[in-house]
């Protein structure tokens, strides 16, 4: 795919000078890589302080540790080949670096949910259920429908786990097109949303509708199971003090981060014509799977959508200010336009 050629490049070629071909959107580097590294370091420091305060520590299982070492080694290999004169794959390097940042953000967010749960008090399930009733949402009927149809269960699980695949597609496409700024703004957006979710979680902790609304034998155990109702009390009483990296569990019921992620993914995919409708369909399926597979109230999902909206607005505000400072308002259509 050939990027757009600017007037300066045409003039240079007329004089026999080869100018680098850089897509227009990549010409504005709003978020330096050093900022991402500094942000990861700061997030890791805050995470360690939270864990120390709540008396929890990480248990490094051999399988999980080996997987992280392999991923880190592959990324390092890509960057070393650039330095030693080996064959260069700039799009692959760009994708690998950004996807590792995404994994690091996700991993730290999940780990941070443990000390956040330990700091929480009480449960807001009755309030969330009352909101669902006011919205005429019957979680039990939804669950019965899914539990009676194995095909819905399989589709729901696949859709629920697409939260890891969609970012890979988005970051891969943006790397292929050389749109570095948009990739990094997506990471910042996701990052801010995770922070907002973790800040809210201790104040609106919930056991989830499966634990609160379903009585009797469980015909179908969703992906999130009963982890919130089982692990949050243990963390509060400091009975559970180790975080097994090989068996991490999502503990945030409200707000629903799967809903937050779906909104952010849809926002990022919307300007990209080739990805817009496929990714919107995938994220719609993920939203439909979230009440059961994530054991979420509809109120949780509405809260997650509001978190995503707040994160998007904050990210856009910061990005436009930085863009105006670096390249002027005229660059806005290139950075946020369709492709």
Q: Answer yes or no: is pLDDT of 34 > 90.
A: no
Residue 17 belongs to a domain? no
Distances (CA, A) of 181 to 58, 196, 228: 34, 22, 37
- Residues 256, 200 contacting (CB under 8 angstroms): no
- Residues 6 or more apart in contact with residue 290 via CB below 8 angstroms: 160, 256, 258, 259, 262, 296, 301
Q: Where are the alpha helices (DSSP H) in 253-297?
A: 257-269, 273-293
Residue 318 belongs to a domain? yes
Residue 80 belongs to a domain? yes
- Residues 164, 99 contacting (CB under 8 angstroms): no
Distance in angstroms (rounded) separating the CA atoms of residues 142 and 136: 12
User: What is the tens place of the pLDDT at every residue in 288-324?
Assistant: 999 999 999 999 999 999 999 999 999 988 888 777 7
In 3D space, the residue among 226, 184, 237, 209 whose CA is nearest the CA of residue 297 turns out to be 209
| Lowest-confidence pick of 209-213, 315-319, 335-339 | 335-339
Residue 8 belongs to a domain? no
Residue 5 belongs to a domain? no
pLDDT-derived band at 11 (thresholds 50, 70, 90) equals: very low
pLDDT-derived band at 339 (thresholds 50, 70, 90) equals: low
Amino acid 8: pLDDT: 41
Residue 129 belongs to a domain? yes
User: What is the tens place of the pLDDT at every residue in 253-298?
Assistant: 899 999 999 999 999 999 999 999 999 999 999 999 999 999 999 9
Distances (CA, A) of 256 to 59, 134, 270, 297: 26, 19, 22, 9
User: What is the tens place of the pLDDT at every residue in 155-178?
Assistant: 999 999 999 999 999 999 999 999
Q: What pTM did the predictor assign?
A: 0.85
Q: Which domain holds residue 52?
A: 30-329
CA angle 315, 224, 122 (to 5 degrees): 80
Over range 108-121, report the average pLDDT. 94
Residue 334 belongs to a domain? no
Residue 2 belongs to a domain? no
Question: What is residue 225's three-state secondary structure?
Answer: coil
Q: Report the number of distinct structural domains present in the chain.
A: 1
DSSP string covering 305-326: HHHHHHHHHHHHHHHHHHHHHH
pLDDT-derived band at 246 (thresholds 50, 70, 90) equals: confident
In SS3 terms, 192-207 reads as: HHHHHHHHHHHHCCCC
């Amino acid at each position: 795919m050939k990027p757009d050629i600017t007037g300066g490049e045409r003039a240079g070629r007329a004089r026999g000078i080869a100018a680098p071909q850089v897509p227009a959107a990549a010409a504005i580097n709003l978020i330096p890589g050093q900022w991402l590294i500094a942000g990861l370091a700061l997030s890791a420091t805050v995470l360690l302080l939270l864990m120390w305060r709540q008396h929890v520590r990480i248990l490094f299982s051999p399988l999980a540790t080996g997987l992280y070492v392999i991923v880190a080694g592959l990324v390092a290999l890509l960057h070393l080949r650039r330095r030693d004169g080996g064959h260069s794959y700039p799009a692959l390097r760009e994708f690998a670096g950004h996807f590792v940042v995404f994994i690091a953000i996700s991993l730290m967010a999940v780990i941070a949910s443990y000390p956040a749960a330990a700091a929480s008090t009480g449960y807001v399930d009755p309030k969330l259920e009352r909101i669902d009733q006011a919205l005429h949402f019957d979680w039990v009927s939804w669950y019965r429908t899914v539990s009676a149809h194995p095909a819905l269960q399989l589709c729901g699980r696949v859709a629920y786990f697409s939260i890891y695949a969609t970012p890979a597609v988005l970051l891969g496409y943006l790397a292929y097109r050389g749109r570095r700024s948009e990739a990094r703004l997506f990471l910042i957006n996701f990052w801010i949303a995770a922070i907002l979710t973790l800040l809210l979680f201790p104040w609106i902790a919930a056991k989830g509708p499966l634990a609160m609304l379903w009585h009797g034998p469980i015909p179908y155990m969703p992906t999130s199971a009963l982890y919130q109702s089982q692990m949050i009390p243990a963390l509060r009483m400091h009975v559970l003090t180790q975080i097994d990296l090989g068996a991490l569990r999502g503990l945030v019921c409200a707000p629903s981060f799967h809903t937050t992620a779906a909104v952010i993914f849809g926002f990022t995919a919307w300007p990209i014509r080739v990805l817009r409708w496929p990714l919107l369909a995938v994220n719609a399926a993920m939203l439909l799977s979230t009440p059961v597979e994530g054991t979420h109230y509809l109120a949780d999902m509405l809260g997650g959508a509001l978190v995503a909206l707040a994160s998007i607005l904050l990210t856009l505000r910061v990005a436009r200010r930085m863009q105006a400072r670096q390249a002027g308002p005229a660059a806005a259509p290139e950075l946020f336009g369709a492709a």
